[in-house]
């Protein structure tokens, strides 16, 4: 009598083990979804990094956009030093206002694409906020030595160079403040390529805030740009140079000697009216001067209003890197 061999039992793998084996595939599918054209585009707009770099880190981060942005930053730090010193002809102007104080920063980069990224604009705005809050900031060097949210601004710039893939440079800073009644207003033109701060003294209120913004817009738009608040701000050396030019012109035109002095002084007065802020025609109402505009605004605010200072930054004027 032949005995049957015992039947081999085939044990099914536990469901949990099969699920574990599927996990890498699930991760792969998530990574593919995370590297869609829309995801790559969103990360590129956020960080300013190259398209292939964005795709690569999204794959490595299994489609997690936040982790991908951190990977871009980590991998770029080693390259940041190589980018320093490259030309920065693009960038933005950022301002921050705090009642009687105002700050402005010109932050440069290499391309307009990076200048328009949220990360770059946020960096510029954070720097302007430090300038307005710290009266000791008197230029790029002192600004970079300061901290924001516990992080030195110089370190933020290095991180930005790494993340954005371009050189980033603080070109210049400006800060205005007023004592007593008054305020600092500002205006940044569309595209953030031109910014203005103005300081008004004498009174406060909604009418003064509006006047400060209107005046800042005037300084931004005026052609020629104002060179000083009042005539006392124009150097005698410049006036003497203008007088020599006008006298030579009059002599070449054959004007009688007895009228040349009068012609010269007339042209000097015209020159001053063109470049002195309070004597310029208001761009929103060419029939009145800035001085007349301020008098009307002060009357509406219940006091006497005067402009004591202004700063005008146009992207690229500072030169340098």
| 29 assigned to some structural domain | no
Do 101 and 194 fall into the same domain? yes
Do 221 and 305 fall into the same domain? yes
Of residues 57 and 289, the one with the higher pLDDT is: 289
Q: What is the pLDDT averaged over residues 275-299? A: 95
Do 175 and 309 fall into the same domain? yes
Do 281 and 142 fall into the same domain? yes
Work out how many domains the chain is built from and give that number.
Answer: 2
CATH number for position 253: 1.10.286
Do 126 and 267 fall into the same domain? no
| 64 assigned to some structural domain | no
Model pTM score:
0.73
Do 193 and 218 fall into the same domain? yes
| 22 assigned to some structural domain | no
Do 156 and 125 fall into the same domain? yes
Q: Which residues of 33-49 are buried (b: 16+ CB within 10 A; e: fewer)?
A: ebbeeebbeebbebbbb
Q: Per residue, what are the HEC states of the chain?
A: CCCCCCCCCCCCCCHHHHHHHHHHHHHHHHHHHHCCHHHHHHHHHHHCCCHHHHHHHHHHCCCCHHHHHHHHHHHHHHHHHHHCCCCCCEEEEEEEEECCEEEEEEEEECCHHHHCCHHHHHHHHHHHHHHHHCCCCCCHHHHHCCEECCEEHHHHHHHHHHHHCCCCEEEEEEEEECCCCEEEEEEECCCCCEEEEEEEECCCCHHHHHHHHHHHHHHHHCCCCCCECCHHHCCHHHHHHHHHHHHHHHHHCCCCHHHHHHHHHHHHHHHHHHHEHHHCEECCEEEEEHHHHHHHHHHHHCCCCEEEEEEEEECCCCCCC
| 59 assigned to some structural domain | no
Do 136 and 122 fall into the same domain? yes
| 112 assigned to some structural domain | yes
pLDDT in tens, 10-44: 555 545 434 434 444 444 454 455 578 889 888 87
pLDDT of residue 204: 92
| 229 assigned to some structural domain | yes
Do 295 and 183 fall into the same domain? yes
| 42 assigned to some structural domain | no
Do 224 and 245 fall into the same domain? no
Domain with 240 in it: 236-271
pLDDT in tens, 172-221: 999 999 998 999 999 999 899 999 999 999 999 999 999 999 999 999 99
84 to 45, 51, 53, 108, 237: CA distances (angstroms): 22, 22, 20, 12, 39
Do 158 and 283 fall into the same domain? yes
Which region among 48-62, 171-185, 263-277, 299-313 has the lowest average model confidence (pLDDT)? 48-62
pLDDT in tens, 109-151: 999 999 999 999 999 999 999 999 999 999 999 999 999 999 9
CATH number for position 136: 3.30.479.20
pLDDT of 9 > 70? The answer is: no
| 253 assigned to some structural domain | yes
Do 137 and 153 fall into the same domain? yes
């Amino acid at each position: 009598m032949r005995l049957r061999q015992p039947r081999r039992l085939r044990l099914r793998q536990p469901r949990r083990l099969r699920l574990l084996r599927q996990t890498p595939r699930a991760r792969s599918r998530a990574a593919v979804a995370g590297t869609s054209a829309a995801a790559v585009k969103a990360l590129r707009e956020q960080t300013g990094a190259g398209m292939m770099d964005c795709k690569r880190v999204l794959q490595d981060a299994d489609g997690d956009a936040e982790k991908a942005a951190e990977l871009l930053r980590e991998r770029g730090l080693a390259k940041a030093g190589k980018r320093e010193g490259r030309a920065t002809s693009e960038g933005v102007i950022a301002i921050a206002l705090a009642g009687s104080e105002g700050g402005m920063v010109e932050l440069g980069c290499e391309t307009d694409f990076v200048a328009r990224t949220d990360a770059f604009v946020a960096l510029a705005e954070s720097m302007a906020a430090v300038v307005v809050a710290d009266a000791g900031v008197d230029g790029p060097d002192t600004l970079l030595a300061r901290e924001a949210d516990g992080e030195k601004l110089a370190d933020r710039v290095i991180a930005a160079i790494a993340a954005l893939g371009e050189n980033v440079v603080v070109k210049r800073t400006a800060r205005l403040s007023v004592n007593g009644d008054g305020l600092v207003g500002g205006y940044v033109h569309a595209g953030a390529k031109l910014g203005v701060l103005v300081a008004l003294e004498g009174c406060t209120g909604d009418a003064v805030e509006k006047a400060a913004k209107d005046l800042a817009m005037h300084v931004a738009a005026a052609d020629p740009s104002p060179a000083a608040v009042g005539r006392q701000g124009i150097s005698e050396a410049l006036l003497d140079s203008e007088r020599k030019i006008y006298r030579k012109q009059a002599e070449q035109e054959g004007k009688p000697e007895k009228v040349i002095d009068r012609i010269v002084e007339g042209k000097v007065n015209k020159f001053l009216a063109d470049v002195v802020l309070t004597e310029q025609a208001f761009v929103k109402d060419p029939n009145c001067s800035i001085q007349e505009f301020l008098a009307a605004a002060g009357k509406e605010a219940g006091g006497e209003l005067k402009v004591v200072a202004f700063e005008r930054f146009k992207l690229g004027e500072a030169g340098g890197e």
